[in-house]
Every structure is written in structure tokens, then in C-alpha cells.
Structure 1
Amino acid sequence: MTDRLLLLWDYIGGDVRNISIAVAAVDRCLSGASSRKPGESHGVRPPLECVGGVRLSVDTVSAMTDWVQQAQDLSDEVLRPAASEVDRSGKIPRSHFDALRDRGFYGLAFATKDPVNTLADVGEILVSGCLATAFVWAQHHGTLLRMVMSRNDTLKARYLADLRSGAVTAGVSGSGYATPENPLIVATETDDGYTISGQAPFVTGWGLVDVLGVTAYDTRAQKTVTFLMDAADGPNVHANRISLSAADASNTVELTFDEHHIPHTSVIQVRQARRGGLSLADRLVLRINGSLALGVARSCLTEADRIGHPTAQLWETHTTIRDALNNAATGDGDIYDARAQASHFAVTAATYVATAAGRRSVQCGEPTERMVREAAFSVVCTTTPEIKYHILTASQP
């Protein structure tokens, strides 16, 4: 589970030549955002206006929206007040997803001229409000962005507008389970589509989302095949619920495909499998996924402020680590090391607030007890083998 966990925003395919976000990305971190508290500016960065070679259509009103402030308001008003109850009950209120939809967060990539940076900033803040809710919401964008790039016009006509609005919500089983070296999900082409077999060990949002974007590996053609399916059990699709130590309300399952048939009409895209190397697009996805650890740390520091133990030093460290992630995303630094530092810091922030809260931190249901579990979760979830190596080596005396 530690080496193959699903990324929050999975790499959407193609090599660096086809990822236009890379063109604008190189210099964007020079004026990178700081770790802001409510009311403080996130800073101004050059926008990344394209994803996967597709320029996103952005309306003027959405482009002028301060999505970071909108996320902060949603976190303060809706998510954070309910986070402990979500953790206790193991259920996310429908109202959380309704609020995300009504405020436009499902189509966030279309609502800003800076989709990559905005997803990272907004994701961090939503995670700090309610990890389980943000964890489910994050999966949506991997499938949405794949659909944007699809050449299956019939499928796009049926789903894209509803995915963009949030009328249809999506999960994802991404390319991490369809690597050429060791594919966990295999596609075999037939006359009328593909037969899918294998197991995705970590699929989030089962029973909470409507559809699932799944990537499998075609060993004969040496290509990845991404398809859309209903997020529901069937004769050849079986979900086994996983009990998580944190974000358990996200309804994460182990999903097994037993010669499941997918027609060609449900295929989003077929791409030549890419081997080796870390592209700039890979770096950007690794950066965005760092929002999980940064969001957990932000939650801890916000709670420390609330209980009367503010720490300017740790807020400054949060800013430093955030800047290091931004810089490493475009090649100025080791992105794996930066991610490892973010994971370590989430644990440090949780330890601080747990100590500050005292005995309440060892009582089940208390916010700081939950935050310690969430910090451990952030160390493991979205962690690649390379990040894991950096975490473990840095932890040795």
C-alpha cells in the first residue's frame, strides 16, 4: 500500500512536449506563494493556462474570482466545523459536496488562468478544513482533465459539461497502477473493446462519486488505456472497503476487475506507455500532491492558534517548505526531497499541537488526536518509492 498509493491528482498522460503547462511553469516559482493565514495574500505567480496541451476556456467572472479566499471561506464555514464529526461517524455530509459544486470547485481547472497553482493552493486549504472531503474532491480532477484531452467526442459530449459543473462527480484509478514495469490492471483488446483484469489497491470515493476514470496497461500494444465506468459493483467488478486510520469517510476501496468488458465507446484515451525519467509534468503533479501534507500541517498550526499556542516559527517553516516545493516542481531542487520535507513537517506540526493541547490529544474524538493520525496518513498517502526513500533516510540517525 505504501508504494502504490493513488495520487490525489494523477499524471494525465503525454510527454513533456505535449504538456503546455511546462512552457509557462519554469519561472513561476520566483514569486511563489507563502503559507498564508486567513486575510493574508498568497502572492502573485505567472499563470499556467494550459493542461495537457489544451488551453482551458475561462470565463471572465471565474478568472477574477479569488479561489484561494473562496476555499478559505468554505473551509472556515463548512468543512472545519464538521471535521471531527466526519472523522467520528465515518460519513461525509452530502452538503459538503453540494457546497463544493455550488461554489464551482469541481470545475476549478476551467475557472482560473492558473490551474496548476490554483489546484495546489486550493487543495491545501480544503485539506486543512476536512481531509476526507478534500480527498474525495481531489480525485475528480484527474478524470476531468483526461476527458478534456479525449478524442472520443461522443463521450465528451455526454460527460464533459456535467463533470465540469459537478453534476456528475468522478473518482480515479490512475496510471500508477498501469506502469509497464509492473501493471496491476491489465487491458486486453478485443473486437469490440477491452477486457480488464487486475486489482487497484486504493480507489477513493466509492459510493460517493458517480463515475470512475480507470487506467490499465495493454501489454501487447504497450499502451495505457483509460476508460470511464460507473462507480458501482457489477458481475466482474468487486469493491472491498478499506478501513483507514484517517480520512476513513472517503470510502476508499480495493477494486478488483475480473475480465470486465469495456466497449470502445467508453475509452477516454489510449497512449503510448512512457518509461523512465521524470518530466516537468511529473514534477508538477508531485508538487500538487504535496498539498496533502501542507494542508495537514496548516490544519495543525491553525488549531494551535485557536487553542492559544500560536507559533510564528512553524508558520515560517511552512512557508519555507512550501516555497521549496514550488521551486523543485520546475527543476530548481529535488522534488522528492521537498516532498519528504513536507511529510516530515506535517508530523512536526501535529506533534506540536498535540503537545500544546495536552491530555486531550490522547482522547479519541479530540481534534488534535485526529490530526496526529492525519499526519501519519499524509506521510504514507501519495508517497512514491522515491519520496519514501528520502523520508526513511532522513529519519535515520
Structure 2
Amino acid sequence: MPSTPVIAGEQRPALLRTARDVADDLAADAIVRDQAGEPPTDEAARLREAGVLAALTPPGPGRGTDWRTGCTVIRRIAAADSSVGDVLARHYVHAWSGRFYAGRHDAAALEEQSVREQWLWTGAVRVPVPDEDTEGPDLTLRPRDAGHVLNGIRFVEASVAVADQFVVDAVCGATGDVLVVRVPRGVRGMTTEPARDRLGQRVVGAGRVVFDRVAVTPAQVLGRRPQDEESTAPFTALAEPALRLALCHVALGIVEGALSEARDLSRGGRAYRLPGADPDLFLTYGELASAAQTATAVVDRATEVMAQALDTGTRLDAEEPAGVAALVATAETVASKAALHVTARVLELADAPGLDRFWRNARVLTAQHPAAHRLRSIGEHYLNGSHRAVAAAFH
């Protein structure tokens, strides 16, 4: 039976101890599971049995986890296995979907059910991009007497074979509105196609989800996603930056895991250069440790600002999300650079089976969002305070 979920607001130390224990368990067979590249069925079971899935839901009376603590848990687990950290990051942020798109009051019952059932969340909600030309929506909703019918195909970055709830956006054919909906696993007409032979993040469970005349009840419609950033509610505008920031903590976990493993190999004599009085080795580790600490400082700053914005809730000022998003884009840029640099350099320091997985995982995690695109958007926001630039940064 699953254990009782740990509530971070009252028992933060207990949750962090649980995260450490789960991380130690995952680290013991991380290389074997990476080589197998199977969907995270066993990994999801470990998270559920430890109570982590129930704990990493939005905070409420007697349940859930605050943003700062949730990100700490994600980072600790990602240091042991970044694929599982990725699964957990997406689960935590998608569990906030009711608040992002429906509001805190409307989301309460859904969040309570998620805790009781220990749901694993995933999804893929697209960001409105200024002046984007598209060939039409990949997911559509057709109204019917008791709700809608969902059709189309969407690529989801994690947990397609094991998630309990999928959050996606789709265009209503009757009104043109973009609606965010929640689809439970196993409903009629829904099938999944896991991606195979990935370079890295092999255990994350990415793949395609096919919706073929899937019934969507009114209760499964979380809310409306505006089609442009100007009309997006301030709190709703935090949804995509929150996901990208949670993934920054996965990147930091990769950095911490790679450095820790390389250090242990050096101390154990399984390195190209052994510790002792080698000034070049000290210089290299000093450089890498400094890069890791710099990235951590930037990501932690963005995490604090995001936490304050989430605590403000629907009272959030209309201008605040742009500043939060720009800071998250900066954190993503710094964390991605550190992850790629550190994981490549540790391969020059030590020789051991599986050490390459950190570099492979970093490459896959960071490949989707080019740094130059983000930097231009950050610069435009800095110079002009442009909301368009912030939206484009997360395309």
C-alpha cells in the first residue's frame, strides 16, 4: 500500500529525508535502467510508494508542497536519475493546472482527489506565440450534448505510458477557443506510442498520445487558454515559466550528480589523473564547482521570485509575470550552459561505465530550447519591457 503523503508545510524535513532515500534507491541501479531505456513504470511505483507523488501537489490545508520545497525535491532526485527528476518536475507543475487555468477555489477538489489517488500528472500545453503561422491545431474539440469530443495527436515529453492524468490544450471547432482539458489514463479512444532509442533521458517515457474521439466531460475542462499573451491572466501566464523553471532544477541535478560521481571516481583512484598535489586537477574541479554554484545561485533566485508570485495568486499584478518569465529564461540559459559544460568536462576527468549518461541527458534536456533565441528575448525585455519578447522566449 502507498505510504501516507508527507506534507511539506508541516513536515518539510521529513519530505526531504524521503527524497534523499528515494534518490539513494534510484542511484543504486541508475546505470542499468538507463541502458534498458524502458518506460518509467517501476520508477513511478517507487515515487508513489514513497508518497512523493501525493506530496508534490500544490499546497493546501493539510496537503501539498510549497514551490521552494518542491523544487528542492526535484533537484535531489534528478541528481540520482535525471529522467525520474524530469518525470517528477512535469508531474508537479501539471498538478498546478487547475489553479493556472481555473483558479484556486475551483481546483481544490481536484487537488484533494489527486492526493488521495496519488495521481501521476503529465501533459503538453502549448504557449501562444505572437504572429505565429501554423498549419492548424493538432488537437481539436468538437462540442456534443454532454461535453466535447477530442481528436488529434500530441507529443508529450514524459510518462506517456504511466501517467494517470494528461493535461493538453485543444481548439474548439465551434468557438475557436483554446481549452485546457484533463484526460484520465485509459479512457476509450486514447492510445500512447512511447518514443524509443533516445540519446538521453531514456527512462523519462516520452512519446505520442493519440486521441480518437475521446469523450471530454465538462468537469474535465480546466479552463480557457487565451490565444495571445496580452489577454492572458497574470497567474495563467506563470504556467509555462513554472515548467521551465522546474526543469532548470533537473539540469542542476544533472550537474550535481555528474560532479559528485566524478569526484568519487577521482578519490577512488579510477580517474585519468589522481588527486594529491595536481594543481591542474584542482583548477579543473574549482572551475566546475564554481560553474555549478553560479548556476545554482541564478536558479535559486528565479525560484524565490516564482514562489512569491505563486503565493500572490490571482492578486498578481499584470506586469509581474513578464519579469518572472525573463528571470526564468535567464536561469534556464545559465543552467543549460552549466549542464552541458560540466557533463562534458567530467568525461575528461574519469573513466567509468555510465558516466556518459550525464552528458547525454543534459544534451536531450537542453536541446529543445536554443540559448540564442532566449537571449534575444531576454535582451528585448530588458531594453523595452516587451511582453512579446517574454512569450517568444518560451516558444
TM-score (norm. length: structure 2): 0.68
Is residue 325 from structure 1 mapped to residue 264 from structure 2 by the alignment? no
Cα 1:261–1:389 shift into 2, 3 Å: farther
Is residue 130 from structure 1 mapped to residue 95 from structure 2 by the alignment? no
Letter in 1 for 2:355: T
The residue that corresponds to 1:35 in the other structure is: none
User: Structure 1 vs Structure 2: percent identity of aligned residues?
Assistant: 16
Is residue 240 from structure 1 mapped to residue 193 from structure 2 by the alignment? yes
Instruction: Specify which of 72, 76, 79 is matched with residue 20 of structure 2.
Output: 72
Cα 1:119–1:380 shift into 2, 3 Å: farther
Letter in 1 for 2:125: G
Instruction: Note if contact 2:39-2:161 (Cα within 8 Å) is conserved in structure 1.
Output: no
Cα 1:372–1:101 shift into 2, 3 Å: same
1:276 Cα deviation (Å)? Answer: 5.2
1:95 Cα deviation (Å)? Answer: 5.3
Q: How does 1:5-154 map to 2 (within 5 A)?
A: 62-65=10-13, 67-76=15-24, 78-91=25-38, 96-106=43-53, 107-108=55-56, 109-110=58-59, 115-147=66-98, 150=102
Q: How does 1:214-233 map to 2 (within 5 A)?
A: 214-218=168-172, 221-232=175-186
Give CA-to-partner distance per residue, 1:54-90, whole Å, 9 cap, x none: xxxx9687344354444233212x1111111111122
Cα 1:250–1:226 shift into 2, 3 Å: same
1:252 Cα deviation (Å)? Answer: 1.5
Gaps of at least 5 residues in structure 2 are: 1-5, 268-281, 306-322, 379-395
Instruction: Note if contact 1:83-1:129 (Cα within 8 Å) is conserved in structure 2.
Output: yes
Cα 1:60–1:381 shift into 2, 3 Å: closer
Secondary structure of the residue that 2:229 maps to in structure 1?
coil
Give CA-to-partner distance per residue, 1:249-273, whole Å, 9 cap, x none: 2321112334433222432333544
Letter in 1 for 2:50: R
Secondary structure of the residue that 1:367 maps to in structure 2?
coil
The residue that corresponds to 1:295 in the other structure is: 253
Aligned counterparts of 2:131 and 2:163: Cα–Cα separation in 1: 28
The residue that corresponds to 1:380 in the other structure is: 367
Give CA-to-partner distance per residue, 1:318-371, whole Å, 9 cap, x none: 12112223435644875424312211211111112111123x4xxxxx221212
Cα 1:83–1:115 shift into 2, 3 Å: same
Secondary structure of the residue that 1:161 maps to in structure 2?
helix
Q: How does 1:151-230 map to 2 (within 5 A)?
A: 157=109, 160-165=111-116, 167-176=118-127, 181=132, 182=134, 183-218=137-172, 221-230=175-184
Instruction: Specify which of 218, 222, 225 is matched with residue 264 of structure 1.
Output: 218
Aligned counterparts of 1:221 and 1:323: Cα–Cα separation in 2: 45
Q: How does 1:365-376 map to 2 (within 5 A)?
A: 366-376=353-363
Letter in 2 for 1:379: T
Letter in 2 for 1:351: A
Cα 1:166–1:72 shift into 2, 3 Å: farther
Which structure has the larger Rg over C-alpha atoms?
2
Q: How does 1:250-261 map to 2 (within 5 A)?
A: 250-261=204-215
Cα 1:145–1:322 shift into 2, 3 Å: same
Instruction: Note if contact 1:180-1:275 (Cα within 8 Å) is conserved in structure 2.
Output: no
Query: RMSD over aligned Cα, in angstroms?
Result: 3.8
Aligned counterparts of 2:165 and 2:8: Cα–Cα separation in 1: 30
Between 1:146-155 and 1:345-354, the stretch displaced more is 146-155
Letter in 2 for 1:339: E
Aligned counterparts of 2:170 and 2:261: Cα–Cα separation in 1: 41
Letter in 2 for 1:347: L
Cα 1:352–1:334 shift into 2, 3 Å: same
Aligned counterparts of 2:231 and 2:343: Cα–Cα separation in 1: 34
Cα 1:340–1:271 shift into 2, 3 Å: closer
Give CA-to-partner distance per residue, 1:142-166, whole Å, 9 cap, x none: 3422246758999975x54342245
Aligned counterparts of 1:173 and 1:194: Cα–Cα separation in 2: 19
Instruction: Note if contact 1:304-1:353 (Cα within 8 Å) is conserved in structure 2.
Output: yes
Secondary structure of the residue that 1:248 maps to in structure 2?
coil
Instruction: Note if contact 1:86-1:92 (Cα within 8 Å) is conserved in structure 2.
Output: no
Secondary structure of the residue that 2:142 maps to in structure 1?
strand
Aligned counterparts of 1:65 and 1:59: Cα–Cα separation in 2: 10
1:178 Cα deviation (Å)? Answer: 10
The residue that corresponds to 2:308 in the other structure is: none
Secondary structure of the residue that 2:22 maps to in structure 1?
helix
Instruction: Note if contact 2:149-2:214 (Cα within 8 Å) is conserved in structure 1.
Output: yes
Cα 1:352–1:211 shift into 2, 3 Å: same
1:112 Cα deviation (Å)? Answer: 8.0
The residue that corresponds to 1:350 in the other structure is: 343
Aligned counterparts of 1:260 and 1:138: Cα–Cα separation in 2: 27
How many residues of Structure 1 are paired with residues of Structure 2 in the alignment? Answer: 325
1:135 Cα deviation (Å)? Answer: 2.3
Instruction: Note if contact 2:200-2:364 (Cα within 8 Å) is conserved in structure 1.
Output: yes
